[in-house]
Structure 1
């Protein structure tokens, strides 16, 4: 039964990837504009040159054949060359991916630390002024648009106070973008940790631990937090995709390198190979992260091992 439980998340891996990659291909086909005309807009190319370029890029083939070719590239990870720069797509993504990973990791770290901390404090002191204040902050963090938060952070901490830089590649230049990306995670995580902790603290085994005279810190950390962490863990799987999506806006506002800014340019210019490559790698990463979280359930919740 334990082996079946561990293998169960893998059963939906291939259908999920196939569905997401199909949606990516279909959405890209619906974007208006001709990529060949965009490529040759400034060269005054003849109709013969346009047709030859379309044939060379494989855009004259039926849509179903382009779809099959796309799936083949998705499986192998080789998407050829970019329409716009003629560079290998894999190399372009590899050059920009570290910057996005650092930004996503910074946002995730910020969200985990402050979201968990605020949620625990509110859960231990529910229905008081501290709880109300924290939940107000959490609601604001979830509600505020990412681009507005980014511009507000720039105005306060960079322009007015001059504490942190807007541009650059060092650790200090990563602070404001990380806060901008991770703020929505703080709000959602704090609310979920609070409600989960309040529910767990009302369980019989927690009251029994307190009746035995165990220190409150041990009761909360060893008995309550471990079980209260299960619902927030499921949230992280969903929020990981939003972290990547938030990087698109944040990288644009802060003029940072990364696959988010590169994706915006690729979509506007209908650079099929580059858009498809970025979409395939990011969706695969999201699916794998959710798969990892499913496996972590068996560590945090012993009952899941018996299912």
Structure 2
């Protein structure tokens, strides 16, 4: 797929997601005006209700409201939160660095750890490294992240006092980043290992051994590039899992990211916040998908 076609498909996907999410969120069985009147302690008069509905465009047809919202969203006007009364863009910009830091750091840590884990598992297929990697993969996918987080929080923070959870410094994010990385590193390591093992059956691998290379040297020299390609392809799907893990960690550790803000806004049916969150997540997936695509093109320029 060419970059131009990739860009067009991504843009079309964003538009489809925006329309679908806007329709679903707008059709939710709740009146944001009634919620705002209750939260802001405003007089529930007909004039107040009419003014708020006109101000937020709730008296307009759905399609007109969508295009109006889309135009404003693209130009940086994400509207005002029904719950807080503050600009949604400002609320997100204040919280987004925390969420991005957790997600990107967790995914990067998973990639860095997956390569050596997968390599040693492939180099010693019947050894401790491979068995440990398999058991670790099963464990982290079977155990809920929030439960594991609570256990590690109690052990590392309360019993051993190695970390300071809920502190207002950089140590507060160490455990959340590790927990986000755990699931992804297990999956990526097995993907990397599987592709390396496929290299062993290739004729050029046997030729490399005949030339005097050790099995590990031949595996790295002739298998790493293709295995890294497979790992990057898996990163595109793992990026979606990271979103859920980041949201769980924000709530579990009380980190003021966008996911925690979303949870607070759901009960109030804060439509503009919900819509902005959907679009931010869609943009995250688009950026991660595009980054992995460019890295895969770099590894294999034959990709059209």
Q: Answer yes or no: same fold by TM over 0.5.
A: yes
- 2-structure distance, mates of 1:190, 1:81: 43
- 1-structure distance, mates of 2:259, 2:284: 15
**Would the alpha carbon gap of residues 152 and 110 (structure 1) be closer, same or farther in structure 2, given more than 3 Å must change?**
farther
- 2-structure distance, mates of 1:231, 1:73: 39
Aligned to 1:17: 14
Shift of 1:260: 1.2
Pick the aligned partner of 2:31 from 31, 34, 47.
Answer: 34
Q: Secondary structure at the match of 1:12?
A: helix
In the alignment, is the contact (CA less than 8 A) between 2:240 and 2:285 conserved in 1? yes
**Would the alpha carbon gap of residues 300 and 159 (structure 1) be closer, same or farther in structure 2, given more than 3 Å must change?**
same
**Would the alpha carbon gap of residues 110 and 296 (structure 1) be closer, same or farther in structure 2, given more than 3 Å must change?**
closer
- 2-structure distance, mates of 1:296, 1:8: 17
Which residues of 2 match residues 94-109 of structure 1 at below 5 A? 94-109=93-108
In the alignment, is the contact (CA less than 8 A) between 2:117 and 2:129 conserved in 1? no
Aligned to 2:121: 122
In the alignment, is the contact (CA less than 8 A) between 1:121 and 1:131 conserved in 2? yes
- 2-structure distance, mates of 1:39, 1:127: 62
**Is 2:52 aligned against 1:45?**
no
Shift of 1:290: 0.6
**Would the alpha carbon gap of residues 157 and 8 (structure 1) be closer, same or farther in structure 2, given more than 3 Å must change?**
same
For structure 2, the 5+ residue unaligned runs are none
Aligned to 2:192: 193
- 2-structure distance, mates of 1:209, 1:6: 35
Shift of 1:11: 3.0
In the alignment, is the contact (CA less than 8 A) between 2:122 and 2:197 conserved in 1? yes
- 1-structure distance, mates of 2:27, 2:139: 35
In the alignment, is the contact (CA less than 8 A) between 2:133 and 2:186 conserved in 1? no
Q: Secondary structure at the match of 2:302?
A: helix
Which residues of 2 match residues 1-307 of structure 1 at below 5 A? 5-42=2-39, 43=41, 45-48=43-46, 49-304=48-303, 307=304
Shift of 1:233: 0.5
- 2-structure distance, mates of 1:118, 1:27: 43
CA offsets 1:228-281 (integer angstroms, 9 cap, x no match): 111111111121232123211110110011111111112221222222223222
CA offsets 1:142-187 (integer angstroms, 9 cap, x no match): 2222221221221211122211111124332111111221211012
- 2-structure distance, mates of 1:84, 1:44: 13
Q: Secondary structure at the match of 2:249?
A: helix
- 1-structure distance, mates of 2:9, 2:168: 39
In the alignment, is the contact (CA less than 8 A) between 2:79 and 2:272 conserved in 1? yes
Shift of 1:217: 4.6
- 2-structure distance, mates of 1:155, 1:203: 48
Shift of 1:215: 4.5
**Would the alpha carbon gap of residues 145 and 242 (structure 1) be closer, same or farther in structure 2, given more than 3 Å must change?**
same
CA offsets 1:10-40 (integer angstroms, 9 cap, x no match): 2311111112222321332343322222212
- 1-structure distance, mates of 2:114, 2:221: 19
In the alignment, is the contact (CA less than 8 A) between 1:142 and 1:185 conserved in 2? no
For structure 1, the 5+ residue unaligned runs are none
Aligned residues: 302
